[in-house]
């Protein structure tokens, strides 16, 4: 197993290096603009490299994942649309349409959907019935865009993704679900070369970005694994409420952003600089410190989910605790946003005078 993981690490690194050079020739790069303050044009190939390496591994080892062909086909379509989005900035309506289509592929071909959300209110298990189709579509779109939205500073998407896959892999391995647990480990190993290059450990000239292709790949893979692990009847190794904790931070960030945009009269999909990482940086923290803070919070939330799963804490307690944390998160982030924006305006006024 160790030899295989080392080999995958090397392959992922090699593919990343090769694609980085190809990307510049085809103009698949991220240039600085009003919202993007990095210097130079950075190749958007992290996601493509991760997808190619992981899909090759799964194609050669299909027994690790039930309905692996449906998953690979879905991922190919999603990554292709992601590449088009990285290159041409595809309208969000088209992206949502493709994501909706793939959610039906998941439900109809792979037979993976939300049948139950468990006993989250404390009044007994809630079975969704036919409503499960709609809830599954919403869950798929939410998961994909949750990870897409959090990709704002170097290392953040990779770091949060590794936390999620590590937490899920740990829970599954403790339950004896070794196949998907191993796939989580494989994904972590494949993600590491990207994280190293994204953070500039090999020099700024070799820096790469994930791109929408990569963030959508990660989001769809996370929701596929979570639903597969939590919707297999009474023997499911993962309770639905635990899945919320494993993606708590990106989920809370997306919900907070969208609520704030709607309250301001803007489209919930309108880009801005009000994500958690933007606010923390406006508070005076460096990008590296911001990365550590957010990954630390993500680890804390995932840890709560793991503890709740291991000690079988009642689902309603876990759900109400999640809602309480979200309300606290929403309030704190909103207050911090107002304070930092006001401080920026005051500083700008002083400098102008």
| The residue to which tokens 């079988």 are assigned | 312
Query: Can you spell out the DSSP letters for 158-173?
Result: HHHHHHHHHHHHHHHH
Question: Which residue range(s) make up the domain with 276?
Answer: 2-352
CA distances from 319 to 120, 170, 256, 280, 310 (A): 6, 21, 18, 27, 16
The pTM for the full model equals 0.92
User: Would you tell me how many other CB atoms lie within 10 Å of the CB of residue 10?
Assistant: 11
For the record, the structure tokens of 221 come out as 């893979």
Query: Whole-angstrom Cα distance, residue 289 to residue 280?
Result: 9
Alpha-carbon span 209 to 168, nearest angstrom:
25
* pLDDT of the chain, 353 residues: tens digit per residue: 899 999 999 999 999 999 998 988 888 998 754 445 445 689 999 999 999 999 999 999 999 998 999 999 999 999 999 999 999 888 889 999 999 999 999 999 999 999 999 999 999 999 999 999 999 999 999 999 999 889 889 999 999 999 999 999 999 999 888 999 999 999 999 999 999 999 988 887 889 999 999 999 999 999 999 998 888 654 667 899 999 999 999 999 999 999 999 998 888 888 888 889 999 999 999 999 999 999 999 999 999 999 999 999 999 999 999 999 999 999 999 998 888 766 655 455 444 43
Half-sphere exposure of 41 (CA within 13 A, CB side): 12
The partner residues of 30 in beta bridges, in order of sequence, read 42
Q: How many helices and strands in the chain, by DSSP H and E?
A: 13, 2
What backbone phi and psi angles, to 5 degrees, belong to 40? 85, 170
Q: How many domains does the chain have?
A: 1
The sign one gets for the Cα dihedral 98, 209, 227, 114 is: negative
Phi, psi at 36, each rounded to 5°: -115, 115
């Amino acid at each position: 197993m160790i030899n295989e993981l080392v080999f995958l690490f090397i392959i992922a690194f090699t593919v990343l290096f090769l694609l980085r050079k190809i990307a510049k020739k085809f103009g698949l790069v991220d240039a600085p603009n009003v919202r993007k303050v990095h210097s130079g044009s950075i190749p958007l190939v992290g996601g493509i490299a991760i997808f190619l390496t992981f899909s090759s591994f799964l194609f050669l080892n299909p027994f690790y994942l039930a309905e692996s062909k449906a998953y690979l086909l879905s991922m190919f379509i999603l990554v292709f649309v992601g590449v088009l989005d990285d290159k041409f900035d595809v309208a969000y309506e088209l992206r949502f349409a493709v994501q909706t289509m793939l959610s039906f592929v998941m439900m109809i071909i792979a037979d993976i959907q939300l049948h139950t959300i468990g006993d989250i209110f404390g009044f007994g298990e809630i079975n969704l019935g036919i409503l499960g189709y709609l809830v599954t579509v919403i869950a798929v779109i939410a998961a994909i865009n949750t990870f897409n939205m959090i990709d704002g500073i170097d290392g953040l998407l990779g770091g949060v993704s590794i936390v999620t896959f590590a937490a899920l892999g740990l829970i599954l391995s403790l339950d004896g679900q070794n196949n998907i647990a191993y796939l989580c480990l494989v994904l972590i190993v494949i993600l590491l070369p990207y994280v190293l290059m994204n953070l500039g450990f090999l020099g700024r000239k070799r820096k790469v970005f994930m791109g929408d292709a990569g963030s959508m790949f990660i989001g769809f893979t996370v929701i596929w694994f979570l639903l597969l692990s939590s919707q297999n009847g009474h023997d499911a190794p993962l309770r639905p409420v635990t899945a919320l904790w494993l993606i708590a931070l990106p989920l809370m960030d997306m919900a907070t952003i969208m609520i704030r945009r709607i309250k301001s009269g803007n489209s919930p999909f309108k880009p801005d600089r009000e994500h958690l990482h933007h606010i923390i940086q406006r508070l005076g923290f460096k990008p590296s410190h911001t990365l550590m803070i957010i990954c630390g919070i993500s680890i804390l939330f995932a840890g709560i989910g793991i503890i709740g799963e291991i000690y079988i804490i009642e689902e309603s307690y876990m759900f109400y605790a999640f809602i309480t944390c979200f309300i606290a998160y929403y309030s704190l982030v909103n207050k911090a946003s107002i304070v930092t924006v006001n401080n920026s305006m005051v500083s700008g006024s002083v400098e102008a005078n």
